[in-house]
Amino acid sequence: MVRKLIAMMLVALLMPAWVSAEGPSRPKVGLVLSGGGARGAAHVGVLRVLEELHVPIDYISGTSMGAIVGGLYALGMPLDELEAIATQTDWAAIFSDTIERRNQPYRLKDGPQNYFLTYEIDYEQGTWLPRGVLAGKRLDLMLRSLTLNTGEDFDEFPIPFRAVAADIETGAVKVFGRGDLAQALRASMAIPGVFSPVEYEGVLLVDGGVVNNLPVDIVKQMGAERVIAVNIGTPLRDRDQLNDFLDITDQITNILIFRDVAVQMENLEANDLLIVPDLGDITSASFDRMHEAMEIGRRAAREVEDQLLRYAVDEEQYRAILRKQAARVRRPEIIDFVEVRQPSLVSSDFIRRRFEERVQEVFDVDLFAYDVFEIYEQADFEDIDFELVENNGRQGLLIEAVEKTHPRHRVRFGVELADNFEGESFYLVFLDYTVTRVNRLGAQWKNEVWFGRTRRFFSEFYQPLDPYIWHVFLAPHAEYRVFPVDLYAGSSRFAQYEVQTRTGGIDLGLQMGEYGEIRFGALRGMNRSSLDIGDPTLPEARYDNGAWKLSLDIDRLDSSTLPRDGVKIEASLLAGRHALGADDTYELLEIAALKPFTTGRHTLIASGRWATVIDSSDPLAQGFTLGGFLDLSGLRPDQLYGQHLVLGKLIYQCRILRLPAFMGRDLYAGMSLEAGNVWEMRSDRSTGDLIRAGSLFAAADTILGPIYLGLGHAEGGNTAVYFSLGRRY
C-alpha cells in the first residue's frame, strides 16, 4: 500500500514536466510580422533570437514582406536558408518582369534598352497602363519555387499561418488560411503601383498593408494566447523631409497605415510584446541593406530578451516542438512528364514541346523562367502558372495557361539625350508600337518612330515559319530615315548635309535561341544627300539602291548598357547590284565586337570596330562617323566621316555602390583608352594616322537608362565634357 502511494505521488510530481514537454499547458504564442518591404529583413533577425532563446511559435500571421518571411518560416524553412534568400536574391531582377538578359531569346534583346515606359492597348476594352508598374511574374516564380508541395490548408503547416491582403475594390481585408500559398504571398506583397493586383475568386487583391499591416487580431483569432508583434513599418516623415509631391503622397499612405497599426496595437495585452526595430534610414526599397536590417532586428530582440524569456521553454521541450514543426516542403527532383491544361490544341502542343525539353532534368526555376518569358513574348497567353504533381510515383509539371483571345497592342516610349556643353546637344524620342499574336503562328508587326536629330520610321512584319520551334522566320520590312551629316575641317564644321534613305526589303532568318540570329535578304531603295549648310557649290547626290544583305548578330551580354559579362558580335555585308536596281555596284562590310572581363567590382571592356565601303557612288549615304564620348572622346559628336573606319578601345569601370532597386542597379566610376580614325580612301589607311583619346566618367545604370557624365581628351588638344542619357557601348 505504501509503495502504491509513493508511486502515485511520483506520478503526480512528474506530471507537469511530462505535460510541459508535450506543450498543452503552455500558453500558445502567436507571432505577428508586419509589412515594410526591404525593412522586413529585420524579421529574420528577430526569428534568430527567438530560436536562440527557445521561444516556441504556435501561430504566425503576416502582411506583405512579413507574410513572405512568416509563410516560409511556417513551412519549416531553416533560418540560414531564409537569410540567404533575403541577402542573396537579386531584388532588382525580382522587381523586373524579364529574365536575365543573356538568357533572353534574342528578339527580346533587340531594342528595348531605350524604352522605359510601356502602355498596352486593348481595342475591346480601351487603353490602359499595367495595373502595377510590374506584373510580378518574377516574384510569382520565386515564391512558387519556394512553396512547392505545401498543401492547401495553412493550418496543416508545421506552424499554422495566415497571410493578409486587401480587396482593392472594396477595401475589405482578405485573410488567406487555405489555398495556393504562393498566390497568397504574392497577393499580400502586391504593392499598389509596383506589382499588379492578384485576381483571386473574382476579387482583385493588393498588398495587405493598406488595410492591416500588423495583423494582431488575426493571430488571436487563430488561438494565440500570447502575442509577439514585430512592427517594421516606415515611420512618418518630419516636415523638413516633405520636399515634393512624391514625399507627400508617400506620407499620406504611411499615415493611413500608421493609424491602422495604432488600432492593432490596442489589441495587445499586458502579457503580449511589441518589438519595433530602429531601422533608421533603411527604406522599404533598400534591398541592398537587408543584411544590416537583419542585424538591427536581432539587436532589437536582444534588447527585450528578459521579456522574451517569459515565453521560453527548456531545451528538451524546444527540441520536441521543433521535431513536430519539421519542414514539410519537399524539393522537386527529376521532372518525369509535362501536362498542359489549355483549351487550344495548337497552343497546348506549343507549350508542351517547349517544356518537354526539361523532362528528365532537375527542376530549375531559372530555366523555367526562361521558358515562360519566351512564351509570353509571343503574347499568346494572359497567364502561365504551374505546380508539381505526382502520377503513379512519377513527378511532373502541370502547366495551366490562359490564352489571349485577341491581339495585344503594345506602345513603348524612350528617350536619348546628349550634350557636350559647347552648344552641341541633341535628343531622340523613341516610340515603338508592336502588335503581337497577329496569327496562330505567333507573327508580330513592329513599328518604330524616332523624333529628334534622326527622324526614322521602321516597320517589320515578323512571321515565324514554325509554330513550335520559332527559329526560322520571314521578315518583310520598310524604313524611312532622315539624318544630318556634318563635315569638319579640323574641329570647325564647314557643311551639313541632310541624308534621306527610303528602303524596303525582305529577310529570311534563323533565330539561334538566346545567342543571336542570322539574316539573309534583299532590299530596294533610294538615297538622297542634300546640302543644308555650307558652300552652295558643294555637290549633292541622289541614286537608287538595291542590294543583297547578310548579317550575323551574337548577343550574350548581361546588360546592354553597362555590361559586366558576356560577349557581343555584329557582322554585316551589304552588296549593291544592278540586277536589284542599284545605280552602281558596291560592298559595305562592317564588323564590331565587345567583350567584358569582370573580377569583383572591376570590369574591363575590350571593344573594336572595323568597317569599309568599296566603290560607293554616294559617300554621304554609305559612310561611317567617329567622334564623341567613348568614340574618340574629346572630339565633337560625329566629327570624323569617311568610308573606311577603324576603332579600338579599352574601358575600365568600377562599381562604387548599388542604387535602390526602384532607381536602377549600380553606380560606376570609369575611364577609357581609345584609338581610331576614318579615311576617304582605302589606300590612305595607316596606323600612324590613328587618333588617340581617353576619358574619365561616372555612370549610373538607372531605370531610365544609363546616365553618363564624362571628361574626354583627344590628340590635338581636343577636350570636351559630356553628359548623356542612353546606351553608349
Q: List pLDDT tens digits, range 658-703.
A: 887 667 788 999 999 999 999 988 777 888 889 999 999 999 988 7
Q: What is the DSSP letter of 635?
A: B
Cβ atoms within 10 Å, residue 719:
12
CATH number among 3.40.1090.10, 3.40.50.720, 3.40.1160.10, 3.40.50.300, domain 29-96+159-313? 3.40.1090.10
Cell numbers given for 633: 572622346
Question: CA-CA-CA-CA torsion for 656, 658, 659, 662, nearest 10 degrees?
Answer: 160
HSE at residue 25, side-chain half, CA atoms within 13 A, is 9
Checking if the pLDDT of 130 tops 60, the result is: no
Using the predicted structure, report yes or no on whether residue 377 has a pLDDT greater than 70: no
Q: Does domain 334-403 have CATH number 3.10.20.310?
A: yes
Which of the four pLDDT bands, split at 50, 70 and 90, describes residue 324?
A: confident
pLDDT in tens, 170-224: 989 999 999 989 899 999 998 876 777 888 888 889 998 888 999 999 999 999 9
Give dist(CA 600, CA 396) in Å, integer.
39
- The model's confidence at residue 333, banded by pLDDT at 50, 70 and 90, is low
The CATH number of 408-419+429-725, from 3.30.70.20, 2.40.160.50, 2.40.50.140, 2.60.40.10, is 2.40.160.50
Out of 155-169, 278-292, 368-382, least confident range: 368-382
| Percent above pLDDT 70 for the chain | 81
H-only helix segments in 126-196: 137-146, 181-188
- Confidence tier at 135 by pLDDT (50, 70, 90): low
Q: At what angle do helices 365-377 and 345-355 cross, to 10 degrees?
A: 150
State the average pLDDT over residues 503-517.
91
**Cα dist from 650 to 393, 554, 565, 604, 630, whole Å:** 56, 20, 15, 7, 10
DSSP label at residue 475:
E
How many residues are there in the chain?
Answer: 729
pLDDT score of 23: 46
Q: How confident is the model at residue 2 (pLDDT cuts 50, 70, 90)?
A: very low
Which segment, 68-72, 235-239, 683-687, is predicted with the most confidence on average? 68-72
pLDDT confidence of residue 479: 97
pLDDT greater at residue 34 or residue 716:
34
104 by Cβ neighbours in 10 Å (0-12 / 13-18 / 19+) ranks as buried
Q: What percent of the chain has pLDDT over 90?
A: 37
- Name the residue among 103, 21, 98, 43 with its Cα closest to residue 322: 21
Residue 698: what pLDDT? 95
> Is the pLDDT score of 335 beyond 70?
yes
pLDDT band at 8 (very low <50, low <70, confident <90, very high): very low
Neighbours of 334 (CB within 10 A): 12
Please state, rounded to an integer, the average pLDDT across all residues of the chain.
Answer: 82
Give the separation between CA 373 and CA 97, rounded to whole angstroms.
8
With beta carbons less than 8 A apart as the criterion, state whether 163 and 187 touch: yes
Question: What are the sequence ranges of the domains in the chain?
Answer: 29-96+159-313, 334-403, 408-419+429-725
Average pLDDT over residues 230-251: 71
Distance between CA atoms of residues 96 and 665, nearest Å: 11
Cell numbers standing for residue 84: 540567404
717 versus 578: which is more confidently predicted? 578
Query: Between 101 and 702, where is the model more confident?
Result: 702
Give the model's pLDDT for residue 506.
98
pLDDT reported for residue 618? 56
Q: Compute the distance between CA of residue 597 and CA of residue 579 in angstroms, rounded to an integer.
A: 46
pLDDT for residue 11 is more than 70 = no
- Asked whether residue 114 carries a pLDDT value surpassing 70, the answer given is no
- Amino acid 686: pLDDT: 82
